[in-house]
Chains A and B, each alone.
Chain A
């Protein structure tokens, strides 16, 4: 048909108050969906900050390790065994544990902090630490502090910009922060510090030097990680887990998603958002169709088909979806800016996820529209006389 009047839009526009309340309702649902899905995404991105920050081709962990912060110990010898296998160029044993950090300003307040220890002459931390920082931790009781950690650790970064170093106690041992790195927090991690293997063992005197929690494996250039993985696996005992980068990150994500209720809660929250949106749009469209039933019957009497009326209702649903999505997007961005500042979680909305949620919103509205259509089926044009 040529130049047809956009009846659905004209009807929506005619009742401005109802249109406004519909848009507000959908905006609310959109924000709910955005926040839930974005927090869920942030959970996953933040959970693998160290996994993606470290430099390695394969990683060795204990089979009992479920997630990074509570990585379990395994014999360091397994890693050295892997070093002898063709294709492997180097290995980096890493010690990791939660330690007790005292706030350098208020020493009565303490908080647990994630500590990594490695031999500064090994490879693996070049993307996180400067070469200078590598040298600094060779000196006893010197550590590098994550400036993206939570504020409860004290204003370490501010103090560092005033003087060269900050001293405090970790596990009741006096240590000195000589420089900073930037990794950030996650749901299980408030903050971290990195030091040498020797300094690490000074903080944890009961730990055995021969037990490590993470083993980084570097392969020769051009080596295929999957093939090397198979080769190493067949050569060493099966009491350790050998993972590629992707598998290591997947292990962490699946812990937060499946083993903790956190992933589930956010997914559930998003589903609630969709349901709330569905109900709101359905209510609005239903009331709208109900009000216009005599008009639709008139149109049918004039010769408009059922299909035309269906399109009018779907048109309204999709317009509502678009009009509700845009303010929802804007407000969500504001919410994320606030929340990212407060939590230091990676809450930057990607275009991709915005598009996904846009599709979801329009689908939600169209779904409500389809539910409303059942009402239309009963229209008898003979009733208008």
Chain B
């Protein structure tokens, strides 16, 4: 497996629905993400970026082409394989998606107990990761008692506690103000670099594009280079003026 990219897509297409209602959402996507690399996936809504992210996250089965995550082929994968891959991925959700009835440390523990950490180490691991995201003082609080930015940090701590080699994030800054959004992204960047994880970040937020090593732009289910997209957008804007 040495040298193999943690995420490798080859000619991936995806279609929703059946018969006349059938709608193809992704067309022949090929790309790969290396360890330690941060990819930002942009595009207008409906362009298929969330679908692409769920394919990488083993939340959907790929229909055509090949999706390899951490060496596992996910095309037509069985539930068991999917679960196995999901456990090795750190997800950061758009809305933090913490469990309201658990404290912050219990939320992190829900992720930790899926991994292989020994009981004796687990408490320390949880404290460590929460301190790293700046929530050391809020370990035993419930999500309802935290601010939006703090909740998102807790979500990041949960995603990273197992030191995953793949991190997927869907609009992690969507519900945050400018400063907390910036903090959150920089945190992801810093942690990803330290752990050498492959990161895919879906976003609309132009303010955070600079953290990316590479930007992928999706439009109508097809991959385009950012320069093409930007120049087309600019010329349309000029025409309008």
Contacts and interface: CB of A to CB of B under 8 A. Distances in A.
Nearest to B103: A10
Contacts of A305: 79, 83
A382 B74 CA distance: 14
Contacts of B106: 5, 10
Given A7-B110, A10-B106, A385-B50, 18 more contacts: A2-B119, A3-B122, A5-B109, A7-B102, A10-B101, A14-B100, A15-B101, A295-B97, A298-B93, A298-B99, A300-B86, A301-B91, A302-B86, A302-B110, A303-B114, A304-B83, A305-B79, A382-B60
Interface residues of A, number: 26
Contact of B114 (A294, A302, A384): A302
A210 interface: no
B87 A303 contact: yes
B54 to A, nearest CB: 5
A244 B57 CA distance: 74
Given A302-B111, A382-B54, A5 B102 contact: yes
Contacts of A300: 86
Contact of B86 (A5, A15, A295, A303): A303
Size category of the binding interface on chain B: 20 to 34
Given A1-B113, A302-B111, A11 B101 contact: yes
Nearest to B122: A3
6 contacts: A5-B110, A5-B113, A7-B102, A302-B87, A302-B114, A385-B53
A349 interface: no
Interface in B81-103: 83-84, 86-89, 91, 93-94, 97, 99-102
Nearest to A13: B101
A303 B50 CA distance: 19
Interface string B42-70: 00000000100110010110000000000
B102 A10 contact: yes
B170 interface: yes
A381 interface: yes
A229 B101 CA distance: 69
A1 B109 CA distance: 13
Contacts of A7: 99, 102, 110
Interface in A83-118: none
A3 B113 contact: yes
Most buried by A among B59, B84, B119: B59
